[in-house]
Amino acid sequence: MGSGRPRAHQGRRRGAQGKWKAGAALALLALAGLSGCQSADRGAADRAAAQQAYKVSDSGVRAEIERRWKEAGGIDDRLDVTVTGGRALLTGNARDPDQRVEAVRLAWQVEGVQEVINEVQVGDSSGLSDTATDLWIATQLRSKLLFDSEISSKNYTIEVVNQTVYLLGRARSPQELERVQGYAREIGRVRRVVNHVRM
């Protein structure tokens, strides 16, 4: 009889230990889940910060190129620059071939420039009507990309100069890029579509 009590006491102790172990295991699982959520949240925050830094960097690169052009004698009055992911797209009409070369040379000197895409034309054949047409084309194309659910429109930069459409950015797939180029070609008055999009 005396030996039965210790067994019952031991059984209660084992039961308590089992409950404690189960509780500890559940607590560890919960902590692991929380740390996983925290690291996922941290990863998303880090990615967002990196994307924001890239945007700031691109805008800073563009401002520096424009500053150098201005100091070089008003090149910025005739040319435009768009910067995406460190890639500088130069467009517009240079006064002569020397000005075109100088614009490219100055763009390459700016820290953060990974690539210079030179689409500057020589001579000024554009007028007010050309500028209005370019703006109309760009607006039409941006609208088409925005309302197509199969295209990530934020990944594309569009420049239109003398009815030539310049595409810059990053495509998610060859099919997406083909849709974008197709839309550009379909717009009335577009003379040419120049693709500088990366995959």
Q: How many CB atoms lie within 10 A of CB 76?
A: 18
Length of the chain: 199
pLDDT in tens, 8-64: 445 555 555 555 555 555 444 444 454 444 545 566 666 555 555 555 599 999 999
Condensed to tens digits (0 to 9), the pLDDT of residues 142-177 reads 999 999 999 999 999 888 888 999 998 889 999 999
| 124: Cα within 13 Å, side-chain hemisphere | 9
**Token reading at 91:** 């467009």
- What is the pTM assigned to this prediction? 0.57
Cβ 121 vs Cβ 134: under 8 Å: no
- Which top CATH class is 125-199? alpha beta
Q: Cα 75–84–46 angle (5° rounding)?
A: 140
